[in-house]
Amino acid sequence: MNVRNPRPQVSLEKAAELIRTLYGLRVSHVKSLVGYDDLNFFFTAAAAAAAADSATSVGGIGKNGYVLKVTNSQDSKQPGQFLAQGRVMTHLAKEGMRYATF
């Protein structure tokens, strides 16, 4: 990773490991999604991982799957940007905005 190519290098296997470690989910399927500067992965979870830390595990298993975003080296220096994106998505969901699913 460098300034000329800030895109992170994360394999499908590493993405599944991150999901298990950070969110306590055992991945049943993972695939890469198109992204410009970031890496995005769509995944479905079979169940909570056996060794999941209760502080990081999610409350239940979503049947429609999830998206894991791995931010590039430049944008990750601006965490407020992601907080704002999350707030916009939460607001739009509350207003009933529909979005594409896989």
pLDDT at 31: 95
Q: Are 1 and 9 in contact (CB under 8 A)?
A: yes
Distance of CA 55 to the CA centre of its chain: 17
CA distance linking residue 84 with residue 92, whole number of Å:
12
Tens digits of residue pLDDT in 65-79: 888 888 887 877 888
CA distance linking residue 1 with residue 9, whole number of Å:
7
pLDDT at 7 over 60: yes
Tens digits of residue pLDDT in 32-86: 998 888 889 999 988 765 544 444 556 667 778 888 888 887 877 888 887 888 7
pLDDT at 2: 46
In the numeric block, the tokens 């409350």 are attached to 59
The model's confidence at residue 16, banded by pLDDT at 50, 70 and 90, is: very high
pLDDT at 64: 80
CA distance linking residue 56 with residue 24, whole number of Å:
6
Closest to 75 measured CA to CA, from 88, 85, 65, 87: 85
